[in-house]
Amino acid sequence: MIRKSLYLTMRDGVRIAVDVYLPRQPRDGKTPAVLHQTRYQRGVIMHAPFDRVVKTWIADSARKSREFFVKNGYAWIDVDARGSGASFGNRPCPWYEEEVRDGADIVDWIIRQPWSNGAVGATGISYTGTTAEMLLVNRHPAVKAAIPRFSLFDVFTDVAFPGGMHQFYFTKYWGRMNKGFDRNDPHEVLGMWLGIMSRGLLEKARMDPQAAGRIASAADRAALSLMEKIVKGVRPADDDPDYKTVQEAVADHAVNFDVHEAAVNMTFRDDATPSALAPRLGSVTVDYFSPHTYAEKIDNPGCAVFSYGGWWDMAYQHAAIKRHMTLSNPHNRLIIGPWDHAGRHNIGPTHNAQPCNYDHNAELLRFFDFHLKGKDTGMDPVPRVRWFTMGQAQWKSADTWPPRARNTELYLGPKRSLTFEAPAKHGADSYVVDYDAGSGDLSRWTSGVGATVNYSDRKWRDRRLLVYESAPLARDMEVTGHPVVTLHVTSTASDGYFIAYLEETTPLGAVRYVTEGNLRAIHRKESRKKPPYALCVPYHTFLREDAMPMVPGEPARIAFDLLPTSYLFRRGNRIRLALSGADRHHYINPPGQPPSLLFHRGGRQASFLRLPVVEP
């Protein structure tokens, strides 16, 4: 494999750092290219003497894919996105329009190279998955295929404000991480990641939270000190041996957008943030840099999109589904496996995270070979959708999503039961929200910042929640699709959080996490407007004009979807619904005293869980 690092000059004069990797002996003389644009530094270098003994791939998440594709006859292009890494410019917001246009300039350069066959694909994970998707906004004719992996489609709902609730600890961490990269401190970022790992181990050990926090902070400091001694910073271009050009580029990044600061000041989707770096934009909302806003441009008959996600990866499996349902190219594909963020691990209901044994790169190669090399790889005709059913450990497929299912209701009943028949008489259960409730530091949400998912036995967390449970199931029940919960609630507050956990209880009393959903009460209005993308769940706009506070003391209807799943509940086990008003590990508790809630059941105010049940 041959690597060359250089700067490309964009249409406005901004210089972008690029690494080009080529096979030593292209099989056909010409080769397609895979474009990978990141804001997390395309590579790092080490301080002496560690530059001789420490591999630079400790901060190189694309290494395995890059080596695989170059070995299979592709050029691989790593790019430091505008305003990041060794590139010049700044970032008024993520996926800024000039950053998106840079992609087209880079593709123009690629197809002019003597080794290019004129076809380009794009892929990436998380932020880089979105750059791959946003590249399609340019509608460049050379871009034939894109594989956004483990990435968002709607910035507001998929990561920053799921259910309209600010995912405070994620944006805080992500903002801090971005600042570390922008200062050219990848050692700080690596130290933070090691700190997350230490907190995860402490969480797994169920230590006292205060003691765990002190130990984790000490681990953070120790990890940072170690990384500072090893890692120098972002890799320079080949013509920058004294590192001066990198230092000039990094100076541009000092004014970059602070994603956490913007999120803290948001409540509604249309809340705007003034853009000091790009005055002509005025104020921008989160939709300005969200892929779903540009779906009509992304939906291109000349470019196929493979949406790639995992059941345990934040809300990104729903993002992949929404993308696939919205785009119309018949060559598009969707896959969702039993994976956490980036597909590092297989997660199951009865075991902790295990190293992923699925060959992701081979899956990507089949798609790119078909669209960029014209090879018959079996991609067409095949069912367009594949997913993994947990609890059954079986892959399944269909031509569309969601698969055919029968909606089955389980009603909140007396004595905290879940019943398949609606109670005839009205009843109600009281619950005072416990602000110490949480879902842990090893959740689907922290998976997005590198933690390993481990929900363990949920029964000790459920002690703080309001729990309803069915009788033992008489037969296996497969739930595949989008569960929806409808609650009739009276509150002492005008706002608040509603979180629902779908779980399975074994005959021995162990409680297994399946999925969850949530909604902030002020966003509860169900809109009849046409959604901006394809949806098969209740639609909440999250717009200021649609705000609907609760009236203290009066019953309110609150309906929301749980994150999609495919799960086989086993015969003899029970279905459990656990209701909460707080998750201290991910959301800042609302101001004021914890509200007192009254959950109504039966009669005209029946509350229920609707499950999409697939018949055997």
pLDDT at 215 over 70: no
Burial class of 584 by CB neighbour count within 10 A (0 to 12, 13 to 18, 19+): middle
Which residues lie closer than 8 Å to 115 by C-beta, 6 or more apart?
22, 26, 30, 31, 75
Work out the average pLDDT over 435-463.
91
Q: Sorting pLDDT into bands at 50, 70 and 90, what band is 146? A: very high
Work out the average pLDDT over 512-524.
98
Work out the average pLDDT over 226-232.
76
Q: Sorting pLDDT into bands at 50, 70 and 90, what band is 194? A: low
pLDDT at 396 over 60: yes
Q: Sorting pLDDT into bands at 50, 70 and 90, what band is 183? A: very high
pLDDT at 404 over 70: yes
Select which of 313, 340, 429, 495 is catalytic.
313
Confidence (pLDDT) at 456? 84
Please report the DSSP string for 17-37 in residue order: EEEEEE-SS-TTS-EEEEEEE
Both structure tokens of 578: 């656990």
| Matching fold, domains 2-394 and 406-614 | no
* Ranges of each domain in the chain: 2-394, 406-614
**Measured in whole angstroms, how far is the alpha carbon of residue 530 from the centre of its chain?**
24
**Helix ranges restricted to H, 113-185:** 127-135, 155, 168-182
pLDDT at 227 over 90: no
pLDDT at 221 over 70: no
Q: Pick the range with the lowest mean pLDDT from 8-12, 429-433, 475-479, 587-591.
A: 587-591
Residue 346's CB: how many other CB atoms inside 10 A? Answer: 21
Q: Does residue 116 carry a catalytic annotation?
A: no
Confidence (pLDDT) at 295? 98
pLDDT at 204 over 70: no
Which residues lie closer than 8 Å to 371 by C-beta, 6 or more apart?
119, 121, 144, 145, 304, 331
Work out the average pLDDT over 315-334.
97
Which residues lie closer than 8 Å to 269 by C-beta, 6 or more apart?
156, 161, 285, 286, 287, 541, 542, 543
Q: Pick the range with the lowest mean pLDDT from 90-104, 215-229, 531-545, 554-568.
A: 215-229
pLDDT at 329 over 50: yes
Q: Does residue 417 carry a catalytic annotation?
A: no
Confidence (pLDDT) at 219? 65
Q: What is the pLDDT of residues 337-363, one digit of tens each?
A: 999 999 999 998 776 788 899 999 999
Which residues lie closer than 8 Å to 596 by C-beta, 6 or more apart?
430, 431, 432, 433, 491, 492
pLDDT at 199 over 60: no
pLDDT at 198 over 90: no
Higher pLDDT, 93 or 572: 572
Q: What is the pLDDT of residues 271-312, one digit of tens each?
A: 987 665 566 666 789 999 999 999 999 999 999 999 999 999
Q: Pick the range with the lowest mean pLDDT from 78-82, 249-253, 455-459.
A: 455-459
pLDDT at 162 over 80: yes
Confidence (pLDDT) at 191? 61
Q: What is the pLDDT of residues 9-66, one digit of tens each?
A: 999 999 999 999 999 876 667 999 999 999 999 988 888 777 766 565 556 778 999 9
Supply angle C-alpha 102, 108, 114, rounded to 5.
Answer: 140
pLDDT at 547 over 90: yes
* CATH topology (fold) of 2-394: Rossmann fold (3.40.50)
> Regarding beta strands 116-125 and 283-284, do their DSSP bridges make them parallel or antiparallel, or are they unpaired?
unpaired
* Rounded distance between C-alpha atoms, residue 438 and residue 550, angstroms: 24
Higher pLDDT, 451 or 26: 451
Q: Does residue 313 carry a catalytic annotation?
A: yes
Select which of 87, 126, 151, 443 is catalytic.
126
* Rounded distance between C-alpha atoms, residue 96 and residue 259, angstroms: 13
Select which of 341, 345, 540, 586 is catalytic.
341
* Rounded distance between C-alpha atoms, residue 541 and residue 279, angstroms: 27
Burial class of 548 by CB neighbour count within 10 A (0 to 12, 13 to 18, 19+): middle
Mean pLDDT of the chain: 91
Q: What is the pLDDT of residues 586-616, one digit of tens each?
A: 999 988 899 999 999 998 999 999 999 998 8
> Regarding beta strands 333-337 and 385-389, do their DSSP bridges make them parallel or antiparallel, or are they unpaired?
parallel
pLDDT at 217 over 80: no
Q: Pick the range with the lowest mean pLDDT from 409-418, 560-569, 584-593.
A: 584-593
pLDDT at 208 over 80: no
Q: Pick the range with the lowest mean pLDDT from 127-136, 195-204, 412-421, 431-440.
A: 195-204
Which residues lie closer than 8 Å to 112 by C-beta, 6 or more apart?
none
CA dihedral 308, 314, 319, 320 (to 10 degrees): 10
* CATH topology (fold) of 406-614: Jelly Rolls (2.60.120)
Q: Sorting pLDDT into bands at 50, 70 and 90, what band is 224? A: low
pLDDT at 403 over 50: yes
Going by C-alpha positions, the residue among 596, 599, 594, 598 that lies closest to residue 609 is: 599
Instruction: Tell me what percent of the residues of the chain surpass a pLDDT of 90.
Output: 77
